[in-house]
Amino acid sequence: MSTKPKQDGSSNQSPPEIDLFATMALIRAFETRVAELYRDGEIPGFVHTSLGQEAVAAGVGGALREDDYVATTHRGHGHCLAHGMEVDGMMAELFARGEGICHGKGGSMHIADPRRGVLGANAIVGASLPLAVGAALSSKHLGQGRVAVAFFGEGAVNQGAFHEAVNLAAIWNLPALLVCENNVYAEFTDSRTMARVPSVAERAAGYGVEAEIVDGNDVAAVYTLTAEAAARCREGRGPFLIEAETYRWHGHYEGDSQPYKPDAEAASWRERDPLEVSGARLLAGGDADGETLERIRDEAAARVEAAIERARSLPAPDPSEAYADVFGEAEVPA
């Protein structure tokens, strides 16, 4: 598959790379501020940011249809934003307000917007895979042509849920797009020491599933591969696995000082900042000037700041909210 956008002769209507850049800028601004707000005690609970991994979210999100499904992980803010979730509702949720998108009952690790196809972040490592495979089963059964994306980290692929879900997607020939964000570290542990095979992609072969490795810090490459893989899912050709190689800038959780990471390794990945990679290409190709890129980043920051101010102004949830939504009402038999 090609790794350049708009040059593969396919009929996909590619968004210009500057749109993908804007999505990355929004994720960068959101995650940067969330990390600070967590440090300052304004956001409670646990927070896992995706700084450094923005190209995977933006590239995949940009290539999906609005009604496609996304099931993601504890590190899911970027995937949610890239699939169209509202910044205001997300920020209010992280602030644990009653007007948060989940009424303050989800938080960072369970943030979701099913109305937009976002089935949720998920705090159980590997859980996104079976759920997305089930969403793909629904899509196929109901003839909807929707693709279901499971985001997961390379730390999830030693869970049984990964293997069982990939096999099911294969034998049932489902429109499931399995996107592994390989950010090198499974929580605190170098994941290369936790498996004897060097890539996640080659595990897919064991289930008869095609897979491809992509530069996860190059948003255009991620976009192009996703567009082609989603198209083949929609054609009824079964699941596809993408392994996006990237790097987690921050700790497993905010507050993790990462003593386990070699300085040189972390520094070399920071040099391949996905926004810089894309920005340099936009400048070199004459698709944007420095001022435009700066403006996009400023606008993203302003949008996030406005969401923060709004979230700060919102009241805490009413205590009665804690008791709502455990069960749905059953129809009473006549």
Partner 1 sequence: MSTEAAVAPTRYIDALNEGMATAIEEDERVVLIGIDVGAGGGIFRVTKGLHERFGSERVIDAPISEMGYVGAAVGAAMTGLRPIVEIMFMDFVGVCMDPILNQAAKLRYMTAGALEIPIVFRMQTGAGKAAGAQHSQSLEAWFAHVPGLKVVMPATVADARDLLLASVRDPNPVVFVENRRLYGSKGDIDAAPLPLGKARVARPGSEVTVVTWGQMLRRCLEAAGEEGGASLEVIDLRSLAPLDIETILASTRKTGRLLIVHEAVQDFGAGAEIAARVGDELFDELRTPVRRLGAPAVPMPFSPDLESALLPTSKAISAAARALVAEG
Is 139 an interacting residue with respect to partner 1 (CB under 8 A)?
Answer: yes
Least distance CB 268 / partner 1 (angstroms):
37
Least distance CB 104 / partner 1 (angstroms):
8
Cβ closer to partner 1: 149 or 244?
A: 149
CA 60 – CA 20 distance, rounded (Å) = 10
Choose, by CB under 8 A, the member of 63, 94, 119, 221 that binds partner 1: 119
Cβ closer to partner 1: 112 or 308?
A: 112
Least distance CB 137 / partner 1 (angstroms):
5
Beta strand 189-190 pairing with 185-186: antiparallel
Least distance CB 108 / partner 1 (angstroms):
12
DSSP β-bridge partners for residue 70: 118, 149
Q: Left, alpha or beta for 54 (phi > 0: left; psi -120 to 50: alpha)? A: alpha
Hunting for tokens 């000082």 — which residue is that?
Answer: 257
Q: From residue 159 to residue 178, what is the string marking binding to partner 1 with x (rule CB under 8 A)?
A: -xx-xxx-xx--xx------
Segment 82-101, which members bind partner 1 (CB under 8 A)? Answer: 101
* Rg of the Cα atoms in the chain: 20
Is 5 an interacting residue with respect to partner 1 (CB under 8 A)?
Answer: no
Is 103 an interacting residue with respect to partner 1 (CB under 8 A)?
Answer: yes
Angle between helical axes of 219-234 and 54-63 (0-180°, round to 10): 40
By CB under 8 A, which span of 32-40, 156-164, 215-223, 257-265 interacts with partner 1? Answer: 156-164
Is 327 an interacting residue with respect to partner 1 (CB under 8 A)?
Answer: yes
Choose, by CB under 8 A, the member of 36, 44, 138, 309 that binds partner 1: 138
DSSP string covering 152-189, please?
Answer: EEGGGGGSHHHHHHHHHHHHTT--EEEEEEE-SEETTE
The size of the interface with partner 1 (CB under 8 A), counted in residues, is: 52
Cβ closer to partner 1: 200 or 282?
A: 200
Angle between helical axes of 274-284 and 290-313 (0-180°, round to 10): 140
Choose, by CB under 8 A, the member of 120, 155, 238, 251 that binds partner 1: 120
**Long-range contacts, stretch 188-197, CB < 8 angstroms, 24+ apart:** 188/252, 188/256, 188/260, 189/155, 189/260, 190/260, 191/154, 191/155, 194/155, 194/158, 195/157, 195/158
Choose, by CB under 8 A, the member of 44, 124, 235, 260 that binds partner 1: 124
Least distance CB 140 / partner 1 (angstroms):
9
Least distance CB 65 / partner 1 (angstroms):
14
In degrees and rounded to multiples of 5, residue 229 shows phi and psi of -70, -40
Angle between helical axes of 128-141 and 160-171 (0-180°, round to 10): 20
Contact assessment for residue 59 and residue 220, using Cβ atoms and an 8 Å cutoff: yes
Is 57 an interacting residue with respect to partner 1 (CB under 8 A)?
Answer: no
Hunting for tokens 């429109």 — which residue is that?
Answer: 175
Query: Two tokens at 244?
Result: 């996006």
Q: How many CB atoms lie within 10 A of CB 290?
A: 10
By CB under 8 A, which span of 1-9, 177-185, 201-209, 324-332 interacts with partner 1? Answer: 324-332
Which residues are at the interface with partner 1 (CB under 8 A)? 69, 71, 101-103, 105-106, 110, 112-115, 119-120, 122-124, 127, 129-139, 141-142, 148, 160-161, 163-165, 167-168, 171-172, 324-334
